[in-house]
Structure 1
Amino acid sequence: MPRRSADLPLFLITAFALSWVAALPIWLADAPIGSPLFTVAGLVMMFTPTFGVLVVWLYGRSRGEPGTSAREWARRTGLTLGERRGRTLGLLAAAWFGVPVLVAAAIALSAAFGLLSVDLYGLSLFRQGLPRTGQGQVAPDPTITALIQVVSIFLIVPLINSIATFGEEWGWRGWLLPRLMPMGTWRALLVSGVIWGAWHAPLTLRGYNYPELGAWAAPMFVVFCVAFGALLGWLRLRSGSIWPAVIGHASLNGSGGLIMLVGDAAAPPHLAVAGITGLVGSALIAVLTAALFRFRPVTAPAPAAV
């Protein structure tokens, strides 16, 4: 039976329209990046792709289309652990601990290429952002605070962040990527990455992730989303499950700010170039992903649409 034609537009319209609705308070209040309103709106946005999946599912069920039973839908959109649970759990662990290592590698490469100035001993950029006492002194011990943050990034943060990243991953890698796979693996990864990056526009048009670029942060972040989305896509396709991608995304969100911990206040990092979300990080991720697809091939799952 031919694949229905309305599912993809329905998913995209739902996810994109709701993302702008969620971000509308930011634009109306002219909320700055980092403000509570900006943070809450961004968190709400992360669940809009899940609403897109649910709308498509309910649309299919209302038409009595095959493959829309709850169990079959869950399997096809990656909510299970896939056919090889051991592999999925292994990939989940690799995403949990490997992504922070990848972030650290991007920082190291940026410094080695002379694109990033680091202050590993003084932690001056990190100290600059810490709260201060009435006498102007930094309240907590910066070294201990930094150590706690690093430990939590590896042990706790991915689990906490996975609640929100599930809201995205069920849509992007759970439903959308398999839906696009008939066009070919690399083309599906490219298109889904561009869509994922463009969906962030309500935030990135205000300079989110790259404050120094202003509205140009929007196209810049698309580049990163194509690269990192391909890596998350490999996790999804290799495991047959969204959970390694959920954890990988959660781990990235938790560890991406490490560059601000080791940076030098005298020469703040240019985030469009250095670090994991800069050009260095995108190139590093692209090389790693190409190697993974070359040496650990994947099998395309059946799309949750018929």
Structure 2
Amino acid sequence: MIYKESGSIGGREVILFLVALPLLGFPAFWLLPERSLLAVLGLFFGIGLLAVAVAVVPLGSAALPALGFRSVGWRPLLWGTLGTAAVSIAVSQIGLEPQGVKQAMKIAHGPMALLVGLALLAGLAPLVEELVFRGLLYGWLAGRWGAGMAVIGSSIAFAAAHVEPAHVILVLPLGLMFGWLRWRSGSLWPSLVAHMANNGLAVLAAALLKV
């Protein structure tokens, strides 16, 4: 079954997010006592999560459903994760190695660092990215221009946010997969679970191989 979006996310929520992100982010980064990669990434995604929360405050109790938090069975979660793994394996054959990914994966060296890396890169980061791109942006685009534009637009924005050209190329197919899962299920859960699993496996692989 394919679900039609209700379009509860509007331009107001997107604008609130875009305003809240720098207003919260710049002072926080200015006051950050440590500039390590771990600290910067943690603060960046923490501010992103807070900005999403600020953006959906006007929606009240409708905020979570509007972002896509609708219950689904286990099958969409399983098949979404397996499909994402297949896409990730296929994309890895391109042979590109973004420097940003290499630096991020170094967080996972050592037992304690591995736990922190999993919490950050396989927990907080995919949560924030899914809320922003498959929650806010997808919801707004779907309400204005339909699901097709929502999948494509949110995927392009997701890839572009990774900045480094090699990373953009690698991430775009995954973004399309996540967008398709969001559309097909009508829920944020399949793309969120698949995204977390994909990042978690990458962190574990980096720790085992000591990238």
TM over 0.5: yes
CA distance in 1, matches of 2:180, 2:12: 26
- Structure 1 residues 23 and 183, CA gap change in structure 2 (3 angstroms): farther
**Mapping 1:87-106, distance limit 5 Å:** 89-106=74-91
Q: Gaps (5+ residues) in structure 2?
A: 1-8, 97-107
Shift of residue 103 of structure 1?
3.2
Please state how far the C-alpha of 1:180 moved relative to its aligned partner. Answer: 1.0
Percent sequence identity is 23
- The amino acid of 2:89's aligned partner reads A
Write 1 or 2 for the structure with the bigger share of helix. 2
CA shift at 1:173, angstroms? Answer: 0.9
Is 1:77 aligned with 2:67? yes
The 8 Å contact of residues 172 and 192 in structure 1, kept in 2 or not, is answered as yes
Q: Does 1:236 align with 2:197?
A: no
The aligned residue for residue 137 of structure 1 is none
TM-score by length of 2: 0.64
- CA offset digits 1:216-268 (Å, max 9, x no partner): x2x443444443222111111222221111112112222336489679xxxx9
Unaligned runs of 5+ in 1: 32-36, 61-67, 117-128, 132-148, 150-156, 205-216, 269-306
What are the equivalent positions in structure 2 for 1:1-306 lying under 5 Å apart? 5-15=11-21, 18=24, 37-58=36-57, 60=58, 68-70=59-61, 72-81=62-71, 85-86=72-73, 89-107=74-92, 109-110=93-94, 115=95, 161-181=122-142, 182-200=144-162, 217=164, 219-256=165-202, 258=205
Question: Per-residue CA shift, 1:91-112, capped at 9, x if unaligned?
Answer: 21223444344433444x44xx
Q: Secondary structure at the match of 1:14?
A: helix
Secondary structure class of the residue paired with 1:46: helix
Render the CA deviation track for 1:102-131: whole Å, top value 9, x for unaligned. 433444x44xxxx58xxxxxxxxxxxx988
- Looking at structure 2, the residues matched to 192 and 12 of structure 1 have their Cα atoms a distance apart, in angstroms, of 15
Partner letter of residue 53 of structure 1? V
Q: Please state how far the C-alpha of 1:184 moved relative to its aligned partner.
A: 3.7
1:33-85, CA deviations, whole angstroms, 9 ceiling, x for partnerless residues?
xxxx2123213322434323322222x3xxxxxxx241x3222212231xxx3
Alpha-carbon contact 1:47-1:168 (below 8 Å) kept: no
**8 Å contact kept, 1:194–1:225:** no
Displacement of 1:4 in angstroms is 6.1
Higher-Rg member (1/2): 1
Per the alignment, residue 136 of structure 1 pairs with none
Specify the code of the residue in structure 1 equivalent to 2:14: L
